[in-house]
Amino acid sequence: MQQVFEKIGQMEDEMANKFTRTDDLKVDFDREKVRLAQIRAFLSQYKPGLQKQMTYHSMKHDTKKNQILQSDIYNRLNDIEKKLIQNESQIYAIQQYIEAKGAESNYQGAFQDCMGLCHEINLDLIKKSLSVQ
């Protein structure tokens, strides 16, 4: 019951203080509306100048781009870049091939086995030659 009385008191306070300031809110709204209208007018005056600048810079950019595309140096550099890319891919393929063949022809294990076997045979021969003497 006490909560109800507190809520009623809060609502009466809001009605007395919060909702009676509608005139102030209307004045603030009108002030903001005028400010935004001034900004809109300024921007509408500023917009054509910006459009002209954008058009100028866009045309300038397109002109430079076309000059570069038609340049002999650009075309030669482009051809060289394509050749470099092709050569790099060929180098990569050759490296992969070499690594694959190296893995296939890795005879180190067999070599070590043979060396071990030769060592054992030599030891046996040494023992036999010492026992014969």
pLDDT, residue 20, reads 66
SS3 80: helix
- Report how far Cα 38 is from the mean position of its chain's Cα atoms: 42
Average the pLDDT over 12-23 and give the result.
73
Confidence of residue 19 (pLDDT cuts 50, 70, 90): low
Please tell me the distance from the alpha carbon of residue 75 to that of residue 68, in angstroms, as a whole number.
Answer: 9
State the amino acid at position 123 in one-letter form: L
State the amino acid at position 128 in one-letter form: K
Confidence of residue 39 (pLDDT cuts 50, 70, 90): very high
Cβ pair 68, 74 in contact under 8 A: yes
Instruction: For residue 18, count other CB atoms closer than 10 A to its CB.
Output: 10
Confidence of residue 35 (pLDDT cuts 50, 70, 90): very high
pLDDT tens digits, 76-94: 999 999 999 999 999 999 9
Average the pLDDT over 99-103 and give the result.
81
* DSSP secondary structure string for all residues of 43-82: HHHHHHHHHHHHHHHHHHHHHHHHHHHH-HHHHHHHHHHH
* 83's tokens: 């050749």
Provide the whole-model pTM: 0.41
Q: Which residue has the higher pLDDT, 22 or 20?
A: 22
Residue-range domain boundaries for the chain: 1-70
Residue 61 has pLDDT above 80, yes or no: yes
Tokens 């051809």 — which residue? 79
Please tell me the distance from the alpha carbon of residue 95 to that of residue 103, in angstroms, as a whole number.
Answer: 12
